[in-house]
Amino acid sequence: MMTSDRWTETDPSRNAQRAGLVEKLASFGKVAVAYSGGVDSAVVAQAAFEALGDNAIAITAVSDSLASGELEEATTLAKQIGIRHRVIRTEEFADPNYLRNQPDRCYFCKSELYGRLTGLRGELGVDVIVSGANTDDMGEHRPGLQAAAEHQIRHPLQECGLGKSDVRALAKAWGLPAWDKPATPCLSSRIAYGEEVTPERTRMIDQAEHWLRERGLRIVRVRYHKGDLARIEAPLDDITRLVELDMRGQLTTAFHGFGFKFVTLDLEGFRSGSLNSLVPIENLVLGGVRSRAGK
């Protein structure tokens, strides 16, 4: 087992969490980490590298649903950790089930990802594929977790009982810059269910969110709705600035240039996963989403 000279935590309970996570990954043998560069997968990659060294590899998938800049950040962070890193292309946009954008969309995305990773096991020489899912994910609308189960993906953070706050604390103690990085789900998750996922629409969303981040909005979502309508979710403190006359004019001009016909501000502010409020309740119970797949 390797050790990291970057670790700074002195809290015994936090040290125990770190040791437990590293020990868990060491027990898996050779490991491939499904690695996006977000805080969850970064912590798993760091722990895997400490446990296994060159017997661990981080795999980042790229497609039209990946926001600009994310691959570069993931690559830089993998170099900081020291873990081997490989980039693969996934083709979820070739799957009609994914494009139709029903509440089970993530199942087909993760099936594509985990299928490709499973197919690479021999080439990579790994025994186990692991994800960055934590215990907070277990109570949410996460059809991708079923795809993970079907491909025998392990979730070491869940197995060690670690939630999002634990993960961020571990990342901070390891000196990982992603420790306070806002969640960055795929661009397709911004498109309202039932509206087709297309590369053009994800590109519109990416350009719009990038424009807003360049103007200081660190946490923001641009949701796509029917009729090329953009619904901007931002922290309430930022909404006031967005409706100022000069900013409003610049924003609407820019968004029309990206392809949006209508631009709206959500007065409730930023809410992670707000589109899940549109999912029928029967689809949120365990197994409900997949029971409809293929119909």
User: For residue 4, what pLDDT is reported?
Assistant: 64
Domain co-membership, 201 together with 237 = yes
User: For residue 271, what pLDDT is reported?
Assistant: 76
Percent of the chain at pLDDT > 70 equals: 90
Percent of the chain at pLDDT > 90 equals: 82
User: For residue 281, what pLDDT is reported?
Assistant: 42
Q: Does 286 have pLDDT greater than 70?
A: no
For 191, phi then psi, to 5°, come to -90, 125
CATH classification of the domain holding 263: 3.30.70
Domain co-membership, 77 together with 147 = yes
Token digits for 261?
A: 């016909």
Domain co-membership, 174 together with 191 = no
Average pLDDT of the segment spanning 4-18: 89
Structurally, the chain folds into a number of domains equal to 2
User: For residue 84, what pLDDT is reported?
Assistant: 98
Domain co-membership, 88 together with 170 = yes
User: For residue 139, what pLDDT is reported?
Assistant: 72
Token digits for 99?
A: 């494009």
User: For residue 142, what pLDDT is reported?
Assistant: 82
User: For residue 245, what pLDDT is reported?
Assistant: 87
Domain co-membership, 102 together with 141 = yes
Domain co-membership, 22 together with 166 = yes
Asked, for residue 174, whether it belongs to a domain, the answer is yes
Domain co-membership, 154 together with 25 = yes
Residue 48: pLDDT band with limits 50, 70, 90: very high
Asked, for residue 6, whether it belongs to a domain, the answer is no
CATH classification of the domain holding 131: 3.40.50.620
Q: Does 25 have pLDDT greater than 80?
A: yes
Please identify, among 158, 180, 202, the residue that sits at the C-terminal boundary of a domain: 180
Average pLDDT of the segment spanning 108-133: 96
Average pLDDT of the segment spanning 8-24: 95
Domain co-membership, 101 together with 32 = yes
- DSSP assignment of the chain: ----TT-----HHHHHHHHHHHHHHHTT-SEEEE--SSHHHHHHHHHHHHHHGGGEEEEEEESTTSPTTHHHHHHHHHHHHT-EEEEEE--GGG-HHHHTT-TTHHHHHHHHHHHHHHHTHHHHT-SEEE----GGGGGS--THHHHHHHTT-B-HHHHTT--HHHHHHHHHHTT-GGGGPPP---GGGGBPTTSPP-HHHHHHHHHHHHHHHHTT-SS-EEEEETTTEEEEE--HHHHHHHTSHHHHHHHHHHHHHHT-SEEEE-TT---TTGGGGGS-GGGTSTTTTGGGTT-
Domain co-membership, 198 together with 99 = no
Average pLDDT, the chain: 91
Q: Are strands 221-225 and 229-233 parallel, antiparallel or unpaired?
A: antiparallel
- Domain of 200 in residue numbering reads as 187-272
User: For residue 292, what pLDDT is reported?
Assistant: 35
Domain co-membership, 130 together with 203 = no
Domain co-membership, 95 together with 59 = yes
User: For residue 211, what pLDDT is reported?
Assistant: 97
Q: Does 2 have pLDDT greater than 70?
A: no
User: For residue 6, what pLDDT is reported?
Assistant: 82
Asked, for residue 4, whether it belongs to a domain, the answer is no
Average pLDDT of the segment spanning 117-131: 96
Average pLDDT of the segment spanning 28-42: 97
Domain co-membership, 169 together with 248 = no
User: For residue 62, what pLDDT is reported?
Assistant: 98
Whole-angstrom CA distances from 281 to 9, 101, 141, 149, 287 are 42, 17, 10, 23, 12
| Digit-coded pLDDT (tens) for 159-204 | 999 999 999 999 999 999 999 999 889 999 999 999 999 999 999 9
User: For residue 295, what pLDDT is reported?
Assistant: 31
Residue 3: pLDDT band with limits 50, 70, 90: low
Q: Which pTM value belongs to this model?
A: 0.89
